[in-house]
Structure 1
Amino acid sequence: MPETPLPATRLVVRRRASRSVRWMATHPAWAVALRSGIAAGLAWWVAWLIGLAFPDPFADYRYYAPLGAVVATSSTAARSVSQSVRATLAIVVGAAVAGVTDLVLPTDSLTVAVVVIVASLLAGWRTLGDMASWTVTSALFVLVIGGSRDQSEFVLAYIGLVVVGAGVGVLVNLVAPPLPLAPSEAALDELEDVLADQLDALADGLHGDRAPRPEEWEERRRAVAPAVDGARRAAEEAREAQRLNVRVRRHRGRVEDQEVRSERLSVTTAVVTDLVRILTEGERDDLDPDRRVLGAELRHPVAEALGALAAVVREGPAADLDPALLAVRELRAALARQRAHGTGDDYLAAGAIVLDIERALDAHRAASAEPDEGDV
């Protein structure tokens, strides 16, 4: 009899398996490939069983079952159900177009053109969503392949096996659902870097002896919008993937950490956007000195505070807030001196800059105070 594994060996195997499962759960490209392969293989086996029980018409068309399984496993657990329904509906619509056309026209190039045109127009039906392309595919399959056989049997086998395969795919998705944490984490990393770079660029523009020219401000603008859109899309996909997902509990700590981080970066994005607007519009050398929002006395303190905020944004929860808080206090002191011998309009914009920086720091402090539960 084989020897019983030692407890230490069993523990090592369990840890390695756990790491493998966690890695697959958070890297969607590999996870989708594995799920799709397993679902396709299971669907082929189920279709083989159906073919044994009902050889006519299912035995000759087993390959349609893996096709339906792949459709169902290409998205989240919650969406796989709706996608399977839409794909089935699109197949029925396409099959109906081909069937009706085949009754009135011979199968030739003109018929193929008519079927594709009609099916393409029906694919615009909003209900079909991203499964609309199946309408044309189904119409061509039924017209070309089904036309040479008993078309009603082919349509029955085609639709039936795709539905069976989609059902298998849905079950696989429910058992091992995708949880795309890695892409959302990468998107948040990118947004974090872009925001920090933008703050550094603003600070660099204020360190000189004069206010920047308009073209110099333009050179310091960073493409924040694409990073914001990417982070938003990734966050929405990760949020949707949590529905009907039995693995969320295992990664609860990481999921909650990303949600907190997303909220913090949302506040930081709004702050950076406002700072860019205030500085690029109000602190330029083509403006009269009396109309500039900062002036020589405030440019350097604002630059120091922006640079300190950039460091906080870039370092994340591990950042030391003390240098940034000190920079803000020095900026407030400089602003108080400016207010002592200026008018109200001289410091309103500068005060808004201080409030923006403090708002970003408050959001970071609140996010850092959240309890870190870790992965369960």
Structure 2
Amino acid sequence: MGDSEARPAVRWAKGTHVLKRATAGLSAAFAAQRLQLAAKAAVAAGVAFMIAPLMPGAAAHYAYYAPLGALVAMYHNVAGSVRQGLQALAGLAVGIGLAVLLVNIADPSPLTVAVFMGIGVLLGGLPGIGSGSDWIPTAALLVLLVGGSNADDFSFGYLVQMGAGVAVGIAVNFLLFPPLHLNAAAASLDDLRRALGKQLTDMGTALKEEWPPEHEEWSRRSDELSSAARSVRHLVKEADASRRANPRRRFHPRDLDHDYRNLRELERVTFHIQDMTDILSDVIWVSGVPYAVPVQDSGPLADAMTATGELLHSYLDGDEQMQRQRYDAAQAAVEACLAATAGRQAVQGTVPASESILLSLHRILRALRPAS
């Protein structure tokens, strides 16, 4: 009876989870950045198809490849559009050359097509070809199957129309609100600081609670912090890439070198906080570990962690004087903890984990030291 009653609840939970994932997926699909990219792709495809009949000679008969070229070049930053478009054209040129070579030396057959497709895939590994690697066997196959006896005209038209489409795609991305991702990078750095500061203050709170602590969410955040740091690095790199060849960058100046320095510092802080998280989790919940936090160290360690967490939070306000005050307070708390634990004898068979935690806190402070 109990099992039959539980099944609808399980199915409801699964259904709710699927619905949440679907909603999140739809939200991502229709995000403002995606909608802007879709609108620009539509404009580029329309313009490319409009000018396609104006291409010289036989190329005018293959107008449908111009919109394809525009879509190939559409990317979420201008530099990426240029790179992706040129790589696609390079791949097309190699693939067309491969197909022409096959037509001139042998009749297409299952064996020759298989051999040349294999060669096309191998050529996709050429340095610098990038995303154009997929176009080498695709272009060769299209020339063989669609071009047929008219392979020369088809090859010319295919390459010219794709080139025109790529040029239109790059131009549209350059002229119509070329995207800058600077705000996302700045916000992600602040979010990571906030998460790291919260982790430290939560661990400080846990050290002052009766063990095992009532609150244990912090003990499961190690992987989340690592994932957050990777996400921030990705967003900062995206912001850097979005500035290249972007005419809007002069109206939105930002020191990305400073962001990269902050990122490297926060990555080091993340590493040390993860180490502290693992140590404290083991000390509290894992039996038989060869290290422990002496009871008398809990208070000074908690104060040092909390002060360091508050230091991280102070960077969100942008007040340099406040940052300096919080840094001095955190440094004083760490030094007080060092003095309190100095020379303390370990319990037989264990190593004081306090020393490792203090070393991590010291390195965190070194990474966060305000500029003189």
TM-score (norm 1): 0.71
The percentage of aligned residue pairs carrying the same residue is 28
Q: Deviations over 1:138-190 (max 9, x none)?
A: 1111111101x421111111111111221222222332322234553564355
Shift in Å, 1:105: 4.2
What residue in structure 1 maps to residue 154 of structure 2? 154
Q: Supply the RMSD in Å over aligned alpha carbons.
A: 3.8
Q: Deviations over 1:52-106 (max 9, x none)?
A: xx4x412221111122222222253234333332222211111122222233444
- Pairing 1:269–2:267 present: yes
Corresponding residue SS for 2:248: coil
How far, CA to CA, are the matches of 1:220 and 1:175 in structure 2? 43
Corresponding residue SS for 1:247: helix
Q: Deviations over 1:1-37 (max 9, x none)?
A: xxxxxxxxxxxxxxxxxxxxxxxxx953223222222
After TM superposition, list the pairs within 5 Å mapping 1:266-345 onto structure 2. 266-277=264-275, 280=278, 284=283, 295-311=294-310, 313=312, 316-318=315-317, 326=329, 329-339=332-342
What residue in structure 2 maps to residue 246 of structure 1? 247
Amino acid corresponding to residue 232 of structure 1 in structure 2 = R
What residue in structure 2 maps to residue 91 of structure 1? 92
Q: Is the 8 A contact 1:209 1:296 kept in 2?
A: no
Q: Which runs of 5+ in 2 are unaligned?
A: 1-30, 346-350
Relative to 1, partners in 2 of residues 1:122 and 1:331: Cα closer, same or farther, differing over 3 Å?
Answer: closer
Relative to 1, partners in 2 of residues 1:33 and 1:183: Cα closer, same or farther, differing over 3 Å?
Answer: farther
Q: Is the 8 A contact 2:303 2:333 kept in 1?
A: no
Shift in Å, 1:359: 3.6
Which has the larger displacement, 117-126 or 185-194? 185-194
What residue in structure 2 maps to residue 29 of structure 1? 34
Corresponding residue SS for 2:251: coil
How far, CA to CA, are the matches of 2:361 and 2:278 in structure 1? 16
- Pairing 1:174–2:177 present: no
Relative to 1, partners in 2 of residues 1:357 and 1:298: Cα closer, same or farther, differing over 3 Å?
Answer: farther
Relative to 1, partners in 2 of residues 1:266 and 1:207: Cα closer, same or farther, differing over 3 Å?
Answer: farther
- Pairing 1:225–2:217 present: no
Amino acid corresponding to residue 358 of structure 1 in structure 2 = L
Amino acid corresponding to residue 33 of structure 2 in structure 1 = P
What residue in structure 2 maps to residue 77 of structure 1? 78
What residue in structure 1 maps to residue 8 of structure 2? none
How many equivalent pairs are there? 326
Q: Deviations over 1:103-155 (max 9, x none)?
A: 344445444433322211211212211221111211111111101x4211111
Q: Which runs of 5+ in 1 are unaligned?
A: 1-25, 370-376
Q: Is the 8 A contact 1:271 1:359 kept in 2?
A: no
Q: Deviations over 1:186-216 (max 9, x none)?
A: 643553454345424543553356699xxx9
Q: Is the 8 A contact 1:90 1:132 kept in 2?
A: yes
Q: Is the 8 A contact 1:27 1:182 kept in 2?
A: no
How far, CA to CA, are the matches of 2:229 and 2:357 in structure 1? 26
Relative to 1, partners in 2 of residues 1:333 and 1:308: Cα closer, same or farther, differing over 3 Å?
Answer: closer
Shift in Å, 1:222: 3.5
Q: Is the 8 A contact 1:335 1:350 kept in 2?
A: no
How far, CA to CA, are the matches of 1:189 and 1:267 in structure 2? 13
Relative to 1, partners in 2 of residues 1:101 and 1:193: Cα closer, same or farther, differing over 3 Å?
Answer: farther
